[in-house]
């Protein structure tokens, strides 16, 4: 058998991610016919179909999924090798991919990455927002070096490191009947309309269940797709919202909002950093991990 070359493996990954030969060709700056030929050569080498082709595009067969998993592992290993040898030759440089949930991005991650890249100007750190479950899945599939997600999603064979905490709070307009409160139980909010953030689907479902257990109903007057939209709707009295206090505090004065601490036990949230194997991270990824853990409040990091 002829050995597989790195370009062919990368093309196979791109084809699986894009779902069509044409889009894969655009992304790889190659003619679709050339991409198709590469894939056919790989299939001929293994003597089995790796892609299921249809009018809608392509998707990996079971054999293709196995190749995709190994191709990603080999690609990441090559990137780690390039990064580490480059650092030995030229000093700290490299490329780190990070997947993170919306709360971490709203609360602290941009500041942390900015400080990191100022300290290591030759290391590129890319961040992509995903739901916590997709963060875990993406890291497991090798599409990122590090992931930041909720502890409740810390399942599977990844390494999970405790990172930070946040605290849910009730956000209301300055003239809302609850505006004068300093703390409140969730059950007390059920007599008022709520606003839901689409990215908090898991939290929304949990709050519905919690309301049902108390014998009351949770009414979402509207769902929005961003924090900014939610702040504006809360500001003009369309409802209250339950958000992490750390995500709201810096915007409360701007939108004239009041932030009321939730007293329920489940109001405490926890973040973890996930990775496939802490001991096989590239030097650049290890530097970022150490940076994040070092700068987290000492009382929040456990071990």
pLDDT at 53 over 80: yes
Q: Per-residue pLDDT tens for 96-105? A: 999 999 999 9
What is the pLDDT at residue 166?
94
Percent of the chain with pLDDT over 90: 72
Q: What's the pLDDT at 198?
A: 86
**Residue 43 host element (H or E):** helix 32-46
Domain 163-266 in the same topology as domain 4-71 = no
CATH superfamily name and code, 163-266: Periplasmic binding protein-like II (3.40.190.10)
pLDDT of 76: 76
Buried b (16+ CB within 10 A) or exposed e, 102-125: bbbbbbbbeebbeebbeebeebeb
Sequence ranges of the domains in the chain? 4-71, 94-157+270-293, 163-266
**CA 73 vs CA 18, 140, 208: distances in Å:** 19, 10, 40
* Banded pLDDT at 90 (limits 50, 70, 90): low
**Residue 113 neighbours by CB under 8 Å, 6+ apart:** 98, 125, 127
Among 61-70, 77-86, 248-257, the least confident range: 77-86
Model confidence pLDDT, tens digit, residues 169-188: 999 999 999 999 999 999 99
Q: pLDDT tens for residues 157-167? A: 899 999 999 99
Higher pLDDT, 97 or 2: 97
What CATH number does the domain located at 94-157+270-293 have?
A: 3.40.190.10
Q: How many CA atoms lie within 13 A of 62 on its CB side?
A: 0
Mean pLDDT of 289-303: 79
Q: Which residue has the higher pLDDT, 85 or 189?
A: 189
Split at pLDDT 50, 70, 90, the class of 303 is very low
From the candidate CATH numbers 3.40.50.1820, 3.40.50.150, 1.10.10.10, 1.10.150.20, the one assigned to the domain spanning 4-71? 1.10.10.10
| pLDDT at residue 272, rounded to an integer | 97
Mean pLDDT of 11-38: 92
Per-residue pLDDT tens over the stretch 219-241: 999 999 889 999 999 999 999 99
> At residue 83, does pLDDT exceed 70?
no
Q: What is the mean pLDDT of residues 259-264?
A: 96
Query: What average pLDDT score do residues 45-61 get?
Result: 92
What pLDDT is attached to residue 180? 95
């Amino acid at each position: 058998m002829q050995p597989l070359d790195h370009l062919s493996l990368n093309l196979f990954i791109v084809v699986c991610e894009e779902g069509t030969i044409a889009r894969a060709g655009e992304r790889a700056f190659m003619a679709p016919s050339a991409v198709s030929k590469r894939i056919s050569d790989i299939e001929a080498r293994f003597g089995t179909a790796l892609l299921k082709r249809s009018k809608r595009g392509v998707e990996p067969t079971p054999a293709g999924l196995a190749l995709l998993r190994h191709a990603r592992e080999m690609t990441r290993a090559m990137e780690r090798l390039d990064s580490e040898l480059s650092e030995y030759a030229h000093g700290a440089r490299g490329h780190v991919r990070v997947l993170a949930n919306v709360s971490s991005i709203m609360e602290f991650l941009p500041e942390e990455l900015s400080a990191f890249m100022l300290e290591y100007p030759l290391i590129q750190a890319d961040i992509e927002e995903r739901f916590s479950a997709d963060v875990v899945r993406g890291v497991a599939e090798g599409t990122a070096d590090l992931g930041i997600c909720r502890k409740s999603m810390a399942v599977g064979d990844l390494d999970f490191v405790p990172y930070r905490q946040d605290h849910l709070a009730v956000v209301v307009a300055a003239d809302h009947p609850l505006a004068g409160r300093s703390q409140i139980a969730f059950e007390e909010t059920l007599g008022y309309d709520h606003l839901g953030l689409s990215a908090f689907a898991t939290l929304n479902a949990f709050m519905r269940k919690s309301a049902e257990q108390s014998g009351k109903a949770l009414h979402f007057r509207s769902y929005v797709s961003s924090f900014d939209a939610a702040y504006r709707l809360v500001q003009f009295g369309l409802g209250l919202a339950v958000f992490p206090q750390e995500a709201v505090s810096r915007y409360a004065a701007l939108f004239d909002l009041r932030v009321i601490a939730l007293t329920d036990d489940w109001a405490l949230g926890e973040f973890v950093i996930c990775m496939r194997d802490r001991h096989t991270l590239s030097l650049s990824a290890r530097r970022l991990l150490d940076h994040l853990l070092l700068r987290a409040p000492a009382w929040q990091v456990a071990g």
